Chains A and B, each alone.
Chain A
Amino acid sequence: MTDAAAAPLPLNDWHIARGARMVPFAGYSMPIQYEGIIAEHKWTRESAGLFDVSHMGQLLITGEDLDSALEAILPADLSLLKDGRLRYSLLLNDSGGIVDDLMVTRRDDHFYMVVNGATKQGDIEVLRARLRDDVGLDHLTSQALLALQGPRAVDALARLAPSVAELTFMTGDAFELNGMAAWISRSGYTGEDGFEISVASEDAVAVADLLLEQPEVKPIGLGARDSLRLEAGLPLYGHDLDEEITPIEADLGFAISKRRKAEGGFPGAARILAEIADGAVRRRVGLAVEGRQPVREGAIVVDGEGNEVGKVTSGGFSPILEAPIAMAFVPAANAEVGSSVTLAQRGKLFQAKVVPMPFVPHQYVRKGAAK
């Protein structure tokens, strides 16, 4: 890590005081677990978990004619993105590989972007190089980011800011929590209903305390964050996504907006549009693994002759399904739901089946949907 000496994140001491086990992650010291990954995982699915994701990069993009400036970089159709709405998008290289995955929000006259912690410095360089000189790019290093996730997150947060209950999935707005300014969106990385909350670093401890005082809420570490997102079928950059993998291979075609598919004009468009038309040679799929033993990142997918034909990019034990699950890249011919796949890990073979993702259903609260 280039920024191994990064300053402690605003909630560093707060985590330690609450019994977290801290580990190095994305150049920071971060909580991997509190009481235990399975208990934290289940608590998040049943009630509400508080995650510190302050390692992530929060960026502001300002200036004139921003839609065209950003559409030259992202494959999103920003003409459809209304004020206060979020979109999942991708930073792409010229060969169509994924530099990072991100959330972009239109906030009045500017855009707010959240990128991955481990890749944020590189992202900033890419953005700076590709954005017009008159476009402003600010890294909000004085903002912390919290996530409150789970079916009771709305009950806990609405006690502090009642109108958050009016947000729907992938929308955000400005709120106050006990007088402290917060940008809150209804979004997250667990598959559950929930919120992401951006606050000034100096307010992070007070906001975290306020949230943890709510009876629904417990603090959750990165370990459960990873097992939750795996069950939700959500890819993790640096594992399931990298600069050699295209959005079509990664099954993220939904991130390429309809108009952009027709018009192109984003980095890597030639390859990506060709893959949309003709199919990619390999695809990210979900796997249900037979038995109880987890098959993890680094295991290989083998054909009948034992040749390596793919790789497992995330894998572990699902606390909800009580069974091993994985994400893998497999040849297109093996990517259909129901296909059998053989995996090899440490000299041992495992049988798996391609299953639909998410492994555990999403519980997003969408606009117009009955509660």
Chain B
Amino acid sequence: MTVHYTEEHEWIRVEGDTATVGITDFAQGQLGDIVFVELPNSGQQVTKGGEAAVVESVKAASDVYAPVTGEVTEANGALTDDPSLVNTDPEGEGWFFRLRLSDTSELDGLMDADSYKSFCENQ
């Protein structure tokens, strides 16, 4: 199991050809209180860099991009009832969706935890 990070502050945890996607602790801290999350439907195709979800804080709406191309297999229904899970446990219970990877080589350009940490320090 490996966790990768994007410059758009998404994390992607890969197990085999399945990946779980969410936004990072840094991202939720920047967004503030999350009040709504719009998730993709199961079966939906998402494209690397394309819009996959919308996260709304008290202040503003932000797009969440698919870090890799694939087919969505599951969305986190718990966020519909309690969007604040994104604030309290962004890299655990606050996950957004799971997908089946189309091309694992797309992971190569992503950051690991250490690179992401230094990336955030320079934000």
Contact = CB atoms under 8 A, between A and B. Distances in A.
Contacts of B33: 36-39
A235 to B, nearest CB: 19
Interface stretch (A191-199, A206-214, A291-299): A291-299
The size class of the interface chain B forms with chain A is 10 to 19
A37 B59 CA distance: 9
B74 interface: no
Contacts of A294: 35-36, 56, 61
A117 interface: no
Interface in A317-367: 317, 319, 324, 346
Contacts of A324: 36
B32 A292 contact: no
A191 B58 CA distance: 19
A33 interface: yes
The size class of the interface chain A forms with chain B is 10 to 19
A297 to B, nearest CB: 10
B58 A319 contact: yes
Contacts of B38: 293
Given A293-B56, A294-B56, A317 B35 contact: yes
B59 A223 contact: yes
Contact of B58 (A292, A293, A317, A346): A317
Interface in B15-45: 32-33, 35-36, 38
Contacts of B32: 33, 36-37, 223
A202 to B, nearest CB: 33
21 contacts: A32-B59, A36-B32, A37-B57, A37-B58, A37-B59, A38-B33, A38-B58, A223-B32, A223-B59, A292-B35, A292-B80, A293-B56, A294-B35, A294-B36, A294-B61, A296-B61, A316-B58, A317-B35, A317-B58, A324-B36, A346-B61
Interface of A: 32-33, 36-39, 223, 227, 292-294, 296, 316-317, 319, 324, 346
Given A37-B59, A294-B36, A294-B61, 20 more contacts: A32-B59, A36-B33, A37-B57, A37-B58, A38-B58, A223-B58, A292-B35, A292-B36, A293-B36, A293-B56, A294-B35, A294-B56, A316-B59, A317-B35, A317-B36, A317-B56, A317-B58, A319-B58, A324-B36, A346-B61
